[in-house]
Amino acid sequence: MALDIITTIDETRRRLDEARSDGLRVGFVPTMGFLHDGHASLMRAAAGDNDVVMASIFVNPLQFAEEEDLDDYPRDLEADAVLAEESGVDILCVPDVEEMYPGGPVLTTVSVEEISSRWEGATRPTHFAGVATVVTKLFNIAGPSRAYFGEKDFQQLAVIRRMVADLSIPVEVIGCPIVREQDGLAMSSRNSYLDPEQRAAAPVLRRALGAGLAAIDHGATDPVAVVRVMTGFIKEEPLVELDYAAAVDAATLETPDQLTGEIRLMIAAQVGRPRLIDNVGATITPTS
């Protein structure tokens, strides 16, 4: 099936409702465009699990603070359409701001308390309300479906999962593994902002996470000690300014007294213009 590019909500909804009425399963991959292999991995997963795949491209103004890069966010619809079609997408929904928010300033927002207040939420206090609002709207457009998100934005994934559970939204949220460059840097559209020196420095985030995992493998269960190891790695790289490093419970994103069970190491740093995030998971089995 050739890729169809649709710009309206009504037509997207009609096509997906028609597919479901024919007994077909719908997969959905929401994106902000400037697609890379990480997005392609989500689209391929959706194509493997479902009969019809819809991806959306919408640079959502609600999740950008005034000083952030909304106007300069990279865009390349022609290349995005090629990658989407090659990755198994059937429908590419590309609404503009007026189509998504026809009434002007948005008066209704969705906020997921507690889980969105720390880490990324502490640095970007309006971000997750913008994400939750637009994803709720996109889920209402897509209808009952499976939705695919990358684990690179792990806190975002946790926020969306809680939102879907709290609001009984008929969407199954599926997290997919981080896709990395050969040197370990997590793929991100914002990597295009890095100059050559910054690009060479950026993989220190993944190395710092690896050092935290190594400390855990050697028996460390004190989150403060694990964070200290990760922080030390970042401080050795002068082009990288650490925002936070954290060792948290994977479900609540809270810092426990001792690391046990499913945990997540998370890191965020400024590398020149872009702010980059990364994370890795681990399972710590309590010793008797």
Residues belonging to the active site: 39
Q: Which two structure tokens, joined as six digits, stand for 267? A: 């890191």
DSSP H helical segments within the chain, as ranges? 9-21, 37-49, 77-86, 97-100, 120-123, 127-142, 154-167, 196-201, 204-217, 223-235
Contacts of 17 (CB under 8 A, 6+ apart): 143
Q: Which two structure tokens, joined as six digits, stand for 254? A: 């809270």
Could you give the C-alpha distances from 225 to 8, 231, 244, 268, in angstroms and in order?
51, 10, 14, 18
Residue of 93, 66, 77, 73 lying closest to 8 (CA atoms): 93
Check the CA dihedral 98-140-28-26 and report its sign: negative
Q: 């959706």: which residue's tokens?
A: 46
